[in-house]
Amino acid sequence: MIEDKNQQRTSLENLGEFGLIEHLTKNFDIKHKSTIKSIGDDAAVLEFKTNQIVVTTDLLIENVHFDLSYVPLKHLGYKAVVVNLSDVYAMNANATQITVSIAVSNRFPLEALEDLYAGIEAAAKIYNIDVIGGDTTSSTTGLIISVTAIGAVDEKNVVLRSGAKANDLVVVTGDIGASYMGLQVLEREKEVFKVNPQNQPDLSMYSYIIERQLKPEARKDVIELLKSLDVKPTSMIDISDGLSSEIIHLCKNSDVGVELYENKIPLDPQVISTCEEFNIDSTTIALNGGEDYELLMTISQEDFPKIKGNPNLTVIGYITEKSRGMHLITRGEQAIPIIAKGWNAMKNEV
């Protein structure tokens, strides 16, 4: 795995903080007119013509949020950006700028940070984002990375968690549960690797779920799709912690109930087969898995014809009056209350 890749190791101490920042950020170009002044002054300067700006931050800590024994640094950089952009898109906003702050110990050579920044740069390019600043400091232990994302949206287009109404349809993008199952495979391979470092596992049958874990994408395309379909969701949230906790957030913020249908939840065939292999219930994983970075939204019934048949958007249930509670209707037509950690205490099962 990655620690074996013994390339050149340039000590960070030789560069100094300023040299390091300059080196890591030299490739960042400016793509947005709203970026007036980027890296290089005491603060960046932005100017927006739209009247609402969204701001969101995530903090990722080594061995809490990521494990460098199987996460390549380039992927980590990419993912650190993507998880923030996902929050911006979940507001129905367009992401425009990010700042990136890192704390590193001197166990990391310059080459490691170059990999991290290659991932950040790749994400900035693909999602059309300006990297406008950050902070660099030392850490006594692991790597810490914090990204702040900024986006712009017209006031009339902002979508909050609080707008769902009874009879609205619940829609999820893409498929869910894959990222969690990818993590299970990586964790298993890490244990195998500890015992037998020569073992080169064939992970091709898990390629999709591993990619979903290591290199998730934010659904910028869905925000553009909704615009082109002329659909404004009544509420929206991104799926970082799993379907059940996200639908609970939407319902609580909107003061409504929900009925979701087990047989409507979109699952990739690799999730189904890997769940069988691990002897885990795939619905439990879809409800509780997390890190899929898909969007969960509600739309009014009259918008249904506009989204009908679109392969990116699946209707999985509908919003009810609050008094009816929050339930999953199983394949056996049982109504099971949706709770934050799922109806099947996943943590004990896997």
234 annotated as belonging to a binding site for a ligand: no
* CA separation for the pair 156, 295 (Å, rounded): 20
Taking the complex as a whole, the smallest distance from the CB of residue 135 to ligand ADP amounts, in Å, to 5
Q: Which is nearer to ligand ADP, 85 or 131 (CB)?
A: 131
Task: Give the CA radius of gyration of the chain.
Answer: 21
- Residue 4 touches which member of Mg ion, ligand ADP, none, C-beta under 5-8 Å by kind: none
* CA separation for the pair 340, 224 (Å, rounded): 30
Contact 242, 294 (CB under 8 A): no
* CA separation for the pair 321, 251 (Å, rounded): 10
* CA separation for the pair 294, 23 (Å, rounded): 34
Query: Residue with the closest Cβ to ligand ADP?
Result: 133
161 annotated as belonging to a binding site for a ligand: yes
42 annotated as belonging to a binding site for a ligand: yes
Taking the complex as a whole, the smallest distance from the CB of residue 56 to Mg ion amounts, in Å, to 20
Q: Which is nearer to ligand ADP, 143 or 170 (CB)?
A: 143
343 annotated as belonging to a binding site for a ligand: yes
* CA separation for the pair 302, 300 (Å, rounded): 5
9 annotated as belonging to a binding site for a ligand: no
Taking the complex as a whole, the smallest distance from the CB of residue 80 to ligand ADP amounts, in Å, to 11
Provide the 3-class DSSP secondary structure of residue 271: helix
Q: Which residues bind ligand ADP (CB under 6 A)?
A: 21, 25, 39-42, 100-102, 131, 133-136
- Residue 21 touches which member of ligand ADP, Mg ion, none, C-beta under 5-8 Å by kind: ligand ADP
- Nearest of 176, 200, 207, 136 to residue 295 by alpha carbon: 176
The dihedral formed by the CA atoms of 26, 31, 34 and 39, expressed in degrees to the nearest 10: 0
Binding string, residues 109-148; x marks residues near Mg ion by CB under 5 A:
--------------------------x-------------
C-alpha of 97 from chain center = 17
Taking the complex as a whole, the smallest distance from the CB of residue 1 to Mg ion amounts, in Å, to 33
Residue 17 touching Mg ion (CB under 5 A): no
Q: Which two tokens stand for residue 339?
A: 């709770």
Q: Which is nearer to ligand ADP, 22 or 224 (CB)?
A: 22
Q: Which is nearer to ligand ADP, 80 or 275 (CB)?
A: 80
* CA separation for the pair 55, 63 (Å, rounded): 26
* CA separation for the pair 339, 287 (Å, rounded): 10
Taking the complex as a whole, the smallest distance from the CB of residue 148 to ligand ADP amounts, in Å, to 11
Taking the complex as a whole, the smallest distance from the CB of residue 139 to ligand ADP amounts, in Å, to 13
Write out the binding residues for Mg(2+).
42, 56-58, 87, 135, 238, 241
